[in-house]
Structure 1
Amino acid sequence: MLNTEYTDELDILAKYNLNSIQEGLKIHHDAPENIKQAAIRLFHKGLITQEDGGYLTDRGIEAAEHIQRALNIIRPN
């Protein structure tokens, strides 16, 4: 079972545009606290370059690719 911390992290990774790794994300200071904390966890796991988003690392790209593929499979057409 996925807890909400994991789903928040997955949600952030799913938002990255994998067609352009030069395109990052910015988690704004007024974002919900759970999203800000998820970004910090992803940073400490080595998946993103900044605590408030930034770019995907090589490991982050791999994780985001897997997540986005899985979402494409389970989403209705």
Structure 2
Amino acid sequence: MAFDQDMMAELTLLAKFPRTSMHQGIKIHSSAEQNLRDAAQRLFDKGIIDSPDGGYLTDLGLDLISHLDQVHCALQ
């Protein structure tokens, strides 16, 4: 199993979401790097975020960042 650059961009974007409140999201501006905008679109298409330009995490997204936090902590 390997992480390609698209997956890494998606993981990096997921890591940017706030953990303190489910009522906080992020906004990907049109001036952001193309790979970040593409990652947001893919996460939206997968049902992980609720808007193609960021927005809020879905229930699936909340589960994923919990696992992402665990992986990050274990590898630190």
Bin the TM-score by the shorter chain: over 0.9
Corresponding position of 2:14 = 13
Cα separation, 2, equivalents of 1:26 and 1:10: 16
Task: Give the aligned length.
Answer: 75
SS at match of 2:32: coil
- 1:1-77 pair list within 5 angstroms: 1-75=2-76
What amino acid maps onto 2:42 in structure 1? Answer: R
Q: Per-residue deviation at 1:74?
A: 1.0
What amino acid maps onto 2:25 in structure 1? Answer: G
Cα separation, 2, equivalents of 1:27 and 1:72: 26
- Unpaired segments of 5 or more residues in structure 1? none
Normalised by the length of structure 2, the TM-score is: 0.94
- Unpaired segments of 5 or more residues in structure 2? none
Q: Per-residue deviation at 1:72?
A: 1.7
Report the identity percentage.
39
Q: Per-residue deviation at 1:15?
A: 1.1
Runs of 4+ in 1 over 4 A off after TM superposition: none
Range with greater deviation from structure 2 (65-74 or 28-37): 65-74
Normalised by the length of structure 1, the TM-score is: 0.92
